[in-house]
Amino acid sequence: MPIVFPWEKRELEKIAAEMNIKLGFKPSQAFIDEDGACVVTLYKWIIQGFCPFFNRASRHCMIHEDKPLACKMYPLLVELPSGKLMASGKCDWIKQHGPKLMEHLSTRPELIPELFPNEFEAAKRVFIEFMTINSFIERHGLRPMDVSKLSECASVYDIDEYMARSE
């Protein structure tokens, strides 16, 4: 289940509607402000089986240019909030090159941007977006909340919408 930012979720939903594809998302992280407004910062994209945008006949992504950062950075993974960069052991390319590659990269992490230039740039963007959101949350005194309680909120905003109305 990839993690996507709210603006990515909305873009995916728009593309899916045009292609008559049904998508599912679940809030993954949320905060509450002093007035009781709830703010969703991240969503889990619920994918059962193949990605709905994966064309199994051609074995290509149908939205390659518009795919979310989680997909653009794969096989790299960013652990949030630490920012630790990892490579997915589920990736076929990583499996083929195996533990020797991982060992080499662990001793020479500066090679990661050379081996995975586009993926590394996407991972950096994820980390920067996440840190920008966290900085905003800290400055505005938002408190973490249990996403299962969002239905109890008087109002729920996506973080980018909340940020736009707050500044």
Per-residue model confidence as pLDDT tens digits over 53-82: 999 899 899 998 899 999 999 888 888 778
Q: What predicted TM-score, i.e. pTM, was given to this entire model?
A: 0.88
Domain that holds residue 63: 3-166
**pLDDT of 89 strictly over 80:** no
Domain count within the chain = 1
DSSP state of 103: H
Model pLDDT, residue 109? 78
Look up residue 82 and give its DSSP letter.
T
How far is Cα 117 from Cα 111, in angstroms, rounded to an integer? 10
Q: Which of 77, 76, 51 is nearest to 64 (CA)?
A: 51
Residue ranges of alpha helices (H) inside 30-147 are: 69-72, 92-107, 112-115, 117-139
Angle at which helix 159-166 crosses helix 6-18, to 10 degrees, equals: 120
Cβ burial of 46 (10 Å; 0-12, 13-18, 19+) is: exposed
Distance CA 12, CA 72 (A): 14
